[in-house]
């Protein structure tokens, strides 16, 4: 039998946590032969609720669940962890400015980054889901790597929900099965500024952009629909997306750990300067994954429309980075 993998989930008592933990424990993220130990972090006032979730996890009698702990101490939660899902974050409250949201979250991700940098397994794979996820990942990376144990490339942000949302819209428009669609890219920030680039998408060898043959639809329907999907879910459900976010987190980690078999997937990763994106910024890129590593898909032609969109979402990330610069100094 395989040795268990330690998986940390923060915000374990939250909505996404409730959709995520059971799927991790059932083997959907790391494989049906991979035991896991869950290390659950949440705030002191949420510990009772975390205990309730753990009771339900027990009641599932998952064969792969080799252990679990709950804590409000990041040093304990991240100890020896090999996969860390940073879901918990400070939500935007009434009257809260964007700048306040950034600063409040910067504090959380500085503390958690420091704990990862000191206590996690040096090869830990970190996925930040809590928003603003690209900049939170940037902060965790900057703080953690000061300790010299964990590499910057191990810090990623979740663009996979945008990727999956875009795939579904393309499937509906083209009439093709969603499973047949390959080679989508979502560039940039996980925010309405992200750029879902469908120029390379194929379905059974056919170019999907050519099949759709409607640039007005791309600009005026597709991009706004994907960009504002989160708000549309809140409007319809009265709550933000949780099950689809958890599903995307599972997809992101599963592909990173187990490989994408040559297919492109979107991950928010520290730029290496590819496509003119400044080094270190956490930006959505097309990647392929194998042997636990991701590699940016190179050589894609960037036309003028795409470059404008890529710069627009980059500009927002640069502003967010400037907004937290003093906290990282």
Residue 283 token pair: 């930006």
Active site residue 190: yes
Annotated binding site for substrate: 92, 98, 131, 165
The nearest distance, CB 171 to ligand NAI, in angstroms, is: 19
| H or E stretch covering 66 | strand 65-71
Q: Which of 48, 146 has the CB closer to ligand NAI?
A: 48
Q: Are 128 and 109 in contact (CB under 8 A)?
A: yes
Q: Which of 143, 241 has the CB closer to ligand NAI?
A: 241
CA neighbor of 170 nearest in space, from 210, 124, 130, 115: 210
| Binding interface with ligand NAI (CB under 6 A) | 10-11, 13-17, 41-43, 46, 87-91, 108, 129-131, 133, 158, 161, 190, 240-242, 245
Q: Are 137 and 157 in contact (CB under 8 A)?
A: yes
The nearest distance, CB 190 to ligand NAI, in angstroms, is: 5
| H or E stretch covering 310 | helix 304-328
The nearest distance, CB 207 to ligand NAI, in angstroms, is: 28
Q: Which of 95, 148 has the CB closer to ligand NAI?
A: 95
Tell me the longest C-alpha to C-alpha distance in the chain: 55
287 vs 283: CA distance, rounded Å? 12
**What is the residue-wise DSSP string for 186-205?**
EEB-SSTT-EEE-TT-EETT
Give the strand order in the sheet containing 293-296. 65-71, 36-41, 5-10, 83-86, 125-128, 155-157, 265-270, 282-290, 293-296
The set of residues, in sequence order, having a beta carbon less than 8 Å from that of 32 and lying 6+ positions away, is 64
Q: Which of 145, 247 has the CB closer to ligand NAI?
A: 247
Nearest residue to ligand NAI on Cβ basis = 14
The nearest distance, CB 36 to ligand NAI, in angstroms, is: 19
Q: Which of 10, 135 has the CB closer to ligand NAI?
A: 10
Q: Are 166 and 195 in contact (CB under 8 A)?
A: no
The nearest distance, CB 249 to ligand NAI, in angstroms, is: 8
Catalytic member of 190, 252, 309, 321: 190
Active site (catalytic) residues: 190
């Amino acid at each position: 039998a395989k040795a268990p993998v330690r998986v940390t989930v923060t915000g374990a008592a939250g909505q996404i946590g409730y959709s995520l933990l059971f799927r991790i424990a059932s083997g959907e993220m790391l494989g049906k032969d991979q035991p896991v130990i869950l290390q659950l972090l949440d705030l002191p006032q949420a510990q009772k609720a975390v205990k309730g979730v753990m009771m339900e996890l027990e009641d599932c009698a998952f064969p792969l669940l080799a252990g679990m702990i709950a804590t409000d101490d990041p040093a304990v939660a991240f100890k020896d962890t090999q996969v860390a899902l940073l879901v918990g974050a400070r939500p935007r409250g009434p009257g809260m400015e964007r700048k306040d949201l950034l600063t409040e979250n910067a504090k959380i991700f500085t503390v958690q980054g420091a704990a990862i940098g000191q206590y996690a397994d040096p090869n830990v794979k970190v996925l930040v889901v809590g928003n603003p996820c690209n900049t939170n990942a940037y902060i965790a990376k900057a703080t953690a790597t000061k300790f010299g144990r964990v590499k910057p490339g191990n810090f990623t942000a979740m663009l996979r929900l945008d990727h999956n949302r875009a795939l579904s819209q393309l499937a509906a428009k083209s009439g093709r099965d969603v499973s047949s669609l390959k080679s989508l890219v979502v560039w940039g920030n996980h925010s309405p500024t992200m750029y879902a680039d469908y120029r390379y998408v194929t379905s059974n060898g056919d170019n999907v952009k050519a099949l759709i043959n409607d640039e007005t639809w791309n600009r005026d329907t597709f991009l706004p629909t994907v960009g504002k999907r989160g708000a549309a879910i809140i409007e319809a459900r009265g709550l933000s997306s949780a099950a689809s976010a958890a599903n995307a987190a599972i997809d992101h980690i599963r592909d990173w750990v187990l490989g994408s078999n040559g297919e492109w997937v979107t991950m928010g990763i520290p730029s290496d300067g590819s496509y003119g994106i400044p080094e270190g910024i956490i930006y959505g890129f097309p990647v392929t994954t194998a042997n636990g590593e991701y590699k940016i898909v190179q050589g894609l032609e960037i036309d003028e429309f795409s470059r404008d969109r890529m710069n627009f979402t980059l500009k927002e990330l640069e502003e967010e980075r400037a907004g937290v610069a003093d906290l990282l100094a």
